[in-house]
A and B are shown apart, each in its own frame.
Chain A
Amino acid sequence: MDLLSKKSLLLLLATPYFLAVGCKPGKVAETTDTDAAKKVYVAPGKHDELYMFASGGFSGQLAAYGIPSGRLLKVIPVFAQDPENGWGYNENTKPMLNTSHGFIPWDDAHHPELSKTNGEDDGRWIFINGNNTPRIARIDLATFKTVEIIELPNSAGNHASPFCTENTEYLVGNTRFSIPEEGKDDVAIDTYKENFQGNVSFVSVDKNTGGMKVAFQIRVPGFNYDLAHAGKGPSGDWMFFTTYNTEQAHTLLEVNASQKDKDFIMALNWRKAEALIKAGKGKKTAATYAHNVLDEKSHQATSTMESSVLVLDVKDHPELIYYMPCPKSPHGVDVTPDGEFMVASGKLAAALPVFSFQKMLKAIENKSFEGKVAGNLNVLKYESVLQGEVKKPGLGPLHTEFDDKGFAYTTMFVSSEIVKWRIKDLEIIDRIPVYYSPGHLSIPGGDSKKPYGKYVVALNKITKDRYLPTGPELTQSAQLIDITGNKMKLLLDFPTIGEPHYAQMIPAEKITKNQVRFYKIEENTNKYVTKSENDARVVRKGNRVDVYMTAIRSHLAPDNIEGVQVGDEVYFHVTNLEQDWDVPHGFAIKGANTAELLVMPGETNTLKWTPDRPGMFPYYCTDFCSALHQEMQGYMRVSPKGSSTPLKYGLGSKIVQK
């Protein structure tokens, strides 16, 4: 018994514990490239190689980053008001956020989509969808300004959007939420199967101006449409959508929409739909939706309420649509650069199916159908359209993009990694952990005909311990990965604005060659422009006071204003007279309950202000413009309502009294 002392007894009892710890399998090591610093370092004064445009997700905005440095270059306000530059606050841009529901200062922006020519990113515009109040915005990449926002009628949850066709003929918007027809929508939710329908919008884009128009809509069965991608090359006439909830559940979707082994990829022949519309088959249907345009000459947005849309019901044209079965609630559907294969990511599936476009055509020709949905829409046989499956790719596949060497890269949300596989034989080549839970990923040109396969960026939803903590609300992140070699190598990890839901990257020179440095004052057609300081003035009409103000280093004209009364509606129309690069002027007045103005050279912006009390109200330039910026200030005297203070204004020795 002496041998079995207390100590040795303890040791003996602890043995299973040590054995268990020793058996714990190691984690996949983080594989940061040893040359990472060199590869992402962009020396001071040097420019990045690429622009990355990442959506801000729930921030409603779009952000431009430099790659490979990951430096944030600009937040472009799109769907959300931005007090920093007055977007959505000033009179010029308020109409941009108008909808059929009135003024909506926010949205959930998901998918930036660069305009394309011949299937390649052309750097002219970038589009982005608003999910919540269905909209598509167009950003002019010469000025990095949102210049157009169009609302989509008969839509809810504009998630499968705004993916574009090869020559940006159309952008699509498909409904994540099926809903009953507008006007007939006061129905019981449990009548989902009878009354709810999906709705694909085709928004045409003018080749020259970029102007958008809801060209037509196609009513489709009431599933949830998740994502989309246009075909290219041979498949260029087709648009592919993923569906989930083909169970058509209306409650507890988490369970009820995950019952079927297969949902669908919906292949839609948009060229045929376009022909039907041209042939007058579209039914003009009442619909109310806003169309907002910012004129870059007048710097003024206008909002027009549209009243109708052309509709095709797919039940009348079943030849437009074919459904391809796809394992378990597919999320992304991505088309290879040659347009031959469609990769669908069944987010709950154990394999990644790759569909062949040629096989799809053959299956349609041979009527290789396995059934019908919604009465008369054909479902193609899985085996007849399948090229093959990538086996055991990882857990929770979501999205795939492609490089220029025949490889595909797929994000795994659940197993938190990117998997590289070969399109030719569907063999997995490499996998790299990312931190944590990537949604989309982005390769420059990775959804186009011409990928530029040097980097992939993982767009991660969760960061936890990756950065210095900032309380419960943490940043989301992007991770830059080198894909030039056989093995993927992590280079950089950088925080982003909002949720970097999806991003597109483009070689910088495609953007820089069109950059506008400032607006030409002689081309300014704003109704309230003041092109010369001599024309700066104050005009009263009833209780409306228009201040025609100019800003130039380092004074505002006029900078003394008297004779304004409580309750007047004061409009400051500030024209920045500078004609030089990077000399904006700001404008703010005490007590203004909107935001400041930030006026670019040659631009006119208007701030509306209703003084609520008599007193002296200083105003000043908010953008540190020059050595005497702090002197760039003025006073507005506000007198009680009905007072006899005469209207008086001026600058220096030039005083005008009315």
Chain B
Amino acid sequence: MSAGLDVAVRGTARAGGPGTWQRVRSGARSSTVWVIAALVVLLAAIVGFLSQTGTEETRPLHWESSAPAGGRAVIEVLRARGIEVSTTESYDEAAQRAADSDATLLVFDPDSALAAEHRQRLRSTAVGAGAPLVVVEPGTEVTDWSPGVQQAYQTAAGPGGSAPLAPDCTWETAQRAGTVRDSPERYAALGAQDSEVTVCYHQPWDQAGYGAVTREELDGTTVTVLGSRAWLNNAHLADSGNAALALGALGERDSLVYYSADPNDEAFGAGPDDELLGPSFDLVPAWFWVALLWLIPLGIAAMLWRGRRFGPLAVERLPVVVPPVETVLGRAGILQRAGARDSALHTLRTAALLRLASRLSLPPHSRTPEICAAVAARTARDPTEVNRLLAGPAPSSDAELTAIATAIATLESEVSPL
């Protein structure tokens, strides 16, 4: 009819794009920019958080830690008292400083980083130099520090609670300090002939000879074992006699060397990571780790390759389509929820009667009894039964409704057209 209709639109386009400014403007509107901006902010927040927490010291009794479990307060107090405090995490340095007879050596080893020979060497160095040694919470290793003392275990449980401990011994520092916080650990003298051990601080119900603090005289100097780190930490230093005990024990000399054992100290030989991974990892060649790490840039490259879409998605405006029979389904739902069995069955019966009447060629305005009679005659069924199905009472339950409806369907199938 017309060529113009056949070729509806025939377009030519040149791939000239929009100007730079327009592209910047439309780019700012696209979500990519904002997603990238959100990622940058998130990354900055993470880096900031990590760098902040990275410098924060949280190890227990550490001299720089101001956390409740830290030890900054006691160090500050000692310094205020004119005691020169030097700190170290290196075993070698600690061993070197221990040889100074004018300094008290404080050792705190919460992770049990020191081996037995390290402990004994440190002790013998300090004792040999005549320097007092103070050990905090050594646990079972107490014997290495103080040869006449062992950790003691209560055979009978006390009444519980944490009443302050009274000194109850001859050590004048403890007597001056008075009561201190309760401690979970107890130590006792081994009872050897040549040792002079003073045991202080115990609850009244403790076994005789048990105490939270021991002080052993050893070759002209002393080894003091403090059974609780809580006495020294920031949170509890100010409680009852804690501070006095700490200052008395640590302030015997003009200076203090505080050695806090670090498990990652190179002096202990192999690092803990290697022990953790086990020796089998030494068998893996280095190129394997390179290849494994190289999967990261490779993965990024693959994502860039697969992630770039070949042009935008093709979109289409489709004509509207309404689901079929939705009003009927809605009406069925209303009938069922309302339990309208009588009206549902009435509808089914009416429809069946109309169909039966037309199949039996009855006049269009036949009455129900006439149709029932004709159906009964046709199917040779009991007329009362047919009457009950097609004009009986309303059903009392859904099961009865289904039964009657099924029976009507069967009856209809038995009636063939004349």
B is bound to A: no
